[in-house]
Amino acid sequence: MLLRLAQERATGALVRDHGTLYLVDGRVVHAQSPVAPGPDVLLTAGGRQPRQGRIAAGELEICHLGALFDAAFFALAPGRGPARFQYGAVHGTHAARAVRPVPATDIERETLRRRELLDSVWPYPAVDAVPVVPRPAAPGQTVTARQRALLAHADGLRTPAELAWALGRPAFHTLLEIRRLAAAGLVMTPPDPAPSDPAPRQSHPYAHPYPYAHHPYSYSYEPNPYGPVPYDPAGFAAEPDIALLRRLRDALEAHL
């Protein structure tokens, strides 16, 4: 649908379950999602706002473009809800004028690249939506500075998306680091669903059971009708760590 709108040189808002893309003459000029922090959060919570309050035009444009691609990734993620286009709709702030229009083909290509990158690091997306619970590092195991900051803020209650808002980081980059931590065995991971399990109740792979009412880009989010999903770290400890066993098996096979 996005590519068709681009061919039509349409102007308006492409609205989906977890985000909205704004187009002008078929090009994307703004994107927002309740999952992804906006440029204001990236600049303030991320510590990039200088004390004198002035930011170079180039840095501001890079920040806006980064936030655009970040929100577009979640807005275009597979979901059950229908997409609709509101012809003539424009974004209500001046952010759209601060961003260079981006071709829809670039948005599509980058979105697909990011999905493939996440799956290449850790192909189990269930870790994206549950609270992050750190695990002790093995003796001599290396943890990067960015990963240490994530683990320091992981209180067993915040999801990767909420950690992104708290740290002022792009949500996709936070997901990527969480998956790297999962692959390294440094965070608890949900058990892999059995083939006979029913489809997950949440309508979006990055949905959180609690509404994002405290975030400024929350208008398109609908609370989970089934209520909060309980999360009990002790439940993971009672079951074998399938992910860890799989990594150990692969390591042993590699040395045989």
**Total structural domains within the chain:** 2
Residue partners of 243: CB distance under 8 A and separation at least 6: 124, 182, 185, 189, 192
Q: Note the pLDDT of residue 86.
A: 94
- In this prediction the pTM is 0.72
| Cα–Cα distance for residue pair 166/147, rounded to 1 Å | 14
Looking at the structure, tell me whether residues 33 and 101 fall in a common domain: yes
Looking at the structure, tell me whether residues 183 and 240 fall in a common domain: yes
Looking at the structure, tell me whether residues 67 and 115 fall in a common domain: yes
The helix (run of H) or strand (run of E) holding residue 27 is strand 27-32
Domain boundary among 70, 89, 119: 119
* Nearest partner of 85 among 143, 154, 28, 161, judged by Cα: 28
Is 195 contained in some domain? no
Is 97 contained in some domain? yes
Looking at the structure, tell me whether residues 217 and 160 fall in a common domain: yes
| Cα–Cα distance for residue pair 140/90, rounded to 1 Å | 53
**Range of 225's domain?**
123-190+202-255
Q: Where are the beta strands (DSSP E) in 65-184?
A: 84-87, 102-103
Judged by average pLDDT, the poorest of 1-10, 42-51, 154-163, 210-219 is 210-219
Full strand arrangement of the beta sheet holding 84-87: 84-87, 12-16, 19-24, 27-32, 102-103
pLDDT at 242 over 60: no
Q: Quote helix, strand, coil % in the chain, to nearest 5.
A: 40, 10, 50
pLDDT at 232 over 70: no
CA dihedral 38, 40, 44, 48 (to 10 degrees): 90
Is 241 contained in some domain? yes
What single letter denotes the amino acid at residue 130? V
Query: What's the mean pLDDT in 144-168?
Result: 94
Residue partners of 46: CB distance under 8 A and separation at least 6: 167, 168, 169
pLDDT at 207 over 60: no
Looking at the structure, tell me whether residues 67 and 159 fall in a common domain: no
Is 196 contained in some domain? no
Residue partners of 6: CB distance under 8 A and separation at least 6: 23, 26, 27, 103, 104, 105
Looking at the structure, tell me whether residues 136 and 226 fall in a common domain: yes
CB atoms within 10 A of CB 172: 26
